[in-house]
Amino acid sequence: MKHVIGLFDSEIDVIRKIEDLKVQGYDPSKIIALTKDADIYLTIQHRTEATVKTAGPSLKEKLASIFTHEKPVKTALIEFGLSEKDADAYYESLAKEKVLLVTDEQLFDKA
């Protein structure tokens, strides 16, 4: 299960958050940025140590969703490891080119 750090409007906000977490002692390589936008994907990938993944559907998934009426971005989020509740909460925002930062829960279990 993945833990949501937050939803961000721009790659600059994401980079700042990752840098803030790094200063607090968190390993940025354990942070994952999910985005649909290829430009944002490349910017985050080149400017941070975070893993960047796309939540955008492939052409095959887009075609399948026409027939199944499923939302391919939401399905990708669930398969990635988000809970159904989190996937419901964030899939539309990702479709609108926002960026979701997630990590494993144990990253935030530091006391």
User: How does pLDDT run across 4-56, given as a tens digit for each residue?
Assistant: 899 999 889 999 999 999 999 988 888 888 887 666 777 888 888 888 877 65
Long-range CB pairs of 17-20, under 8 A, 24+ apart, other chains included: 17/101, 18/44, 18/48, 18/49, 18/50, 18/101, 19/48
Q: In the chain, helix, strand, coil percent, each to 5?
A: 55, 20, 25
In a domain, 111, yes or no: no
Rounded distance, CA 74 to CA 91, Å? 5
Structural domain total, the chain: 1
pLDDT given at position 15: 92
Q: Containing domain of residue 12, as a range?
A: 2-101
In a domain, 110, yes or no: no
In a domain, 78, yes or no: yes
What is the residue-wise DSSP string for 33-75?
A: EEES-HHHHHHHHHHSSSEEEE-SPPHHHHHHHHHH---HHHH
In a domain, 75, yes or no: yes
In a domain, 107, yes or no: no
The pair of three-digit structure tokens given for residue 94, joined into one six-digit string: 């990702």
pLDDT band for position 72 (cuts 50, 70, 90): low
pLDDT given at position 68: 47
Of 108 and 8, which is predicted with more confidence?
8
